[in-house]
Structure formats: C-alpha cells, structure tokens
C-alpha cells in the first residue's frame, strides 16, 4: 500500500472512531428516533465486527466498506437525526475517551450473511453442474 493510502487510512480511522462513538451515544440516547437507533447500531456492529462483507484481501473491493459503505451509512444517520441531537452526541464523542463496546452479535450477523451468500452460491453451482449432466 502506498504512503498516501496509509496516511488517508489512518486519518479516516481516527475520524471514523469518533463518529462511531457518536453513533453509540446516539443509540443510547432516549430522544433518538427508533429507525435511527436501529441504523446506528447496525453500522456500529458492522464496523467493529471482525468479519467484513467484502474481505480486505480482495484488491479494490475490499476497501469499499471502510471507504464508502461506512461513511455513507454515517451520512444517512446524520441526515435522519435532528441536528441538535447529532451535534450534541458528536461533541460528547470528541470530548470523551470512551471506547465502543464489543458487539459479538454484530459479528454473528455478518457471519450469517456470509454463510447465506456461500449457501446461495453453492446451490447455484450445484444446479448448474446437475443441469450440465
């Protein structure tokens, strides 16, 4: 990976961590709308999950989740959240030194999605092989 890509990744990771902590605070806040809470916790679960939907070893697609999917999800949460509520949670996240909790069920969800994709592919491959006979 080039030096520029490493620098961009480190800078985005620091800002991403702040936004994820703000999402966690937003999820725990009682005034947050239910749909926003669900989206926020889904993003957090995906971000802290050890399993990516697109594995990082795939050359270009592997970085899409960190570079595109997570920022788009965060932008959607920000758009759906009342502005003062988001600004307050973001300020709390920037001031606090808290860490995100470990979400084991988030990893389980992503693993389930992967297993579903593999099962669909195996079913398609099996039907293709049987049709060729």
pLDDT band at residue 33 under the 50/70/90 scheme = very high
What's the rounded Cα separation, in Å, for the pair 102 and 112? 18
Q: Give CA separation, 105 vs 8, 42, 59, 65, in Å.
A: 30, 10, 28, 19
What's the rounded Cα separation, in Å, for the pair 76 and 126? 39
Q: Are 126 and 133 in contact (CB under 8 A)?
A: no
Q: Residue for token digits 């960190």?
A: 66
pLDDT at 7: 47
The boundaries of the domain holding residue 66 are: 3-132
pLDDT of 32 > 50? The answer is yes
Mean per-residue pLDDT over the chain, rounded: 79
**Tally of domains within the chain:** 1
pLDDT at 88: 92
- Cβ-proximal residues to 103 (8 Å cutoff; 6+ apart), any chain: 41, 44, 45, 48, 49
Q: Are 66 and 12 in contact (CB under 8 A)?
A: yes
pLDDT at 83: 94
Q: Residue for token digits 């099996």?
A: 126
Summarize pLDDT for 9-18 with one digit per residue, the tens: 554 556 788 8
Task: Give mean pLDDT, residues 98-123.
Answer: 77
Summarize pLDDT for 89-108 with one digit per residue, the tens: 989 888 876 665 566 666 67
Structure tokens at 21: 């902590």
Q: Are 55 and 113 in contact (CB under 8 A)?
A: no
Query: What is the reported pTM?
Result: 0.62
């Amino acid at each position: 990976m080039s030096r520029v890509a490493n620098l961009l990744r480190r800078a985005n990771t620091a800002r991403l961590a702040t936004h994820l902590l703000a999402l966690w605070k937003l999820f725990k806040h009682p005034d947050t709308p239910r749909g926003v809470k669900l989206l926020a916790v889904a993003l957090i679960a995906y971000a802290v999950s050890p399993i990516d939907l697109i594995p990082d070893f795939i050359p270009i697609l592997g970085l899409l989740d960190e570079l595109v999917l997570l920022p788009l999800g965060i932008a959607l949460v920000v758009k759906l959240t009342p502005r003062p509520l988001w600004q307050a949670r973001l300020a709390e996240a920037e001031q606090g030194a808290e860490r995100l909790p470990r979400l084991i069920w988030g990893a389980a969800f992503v693993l389930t999605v992967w297993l579903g994709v593999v099962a669909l592919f195996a079913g398609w491959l099996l039907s293709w092989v049987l049709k060729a006979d």
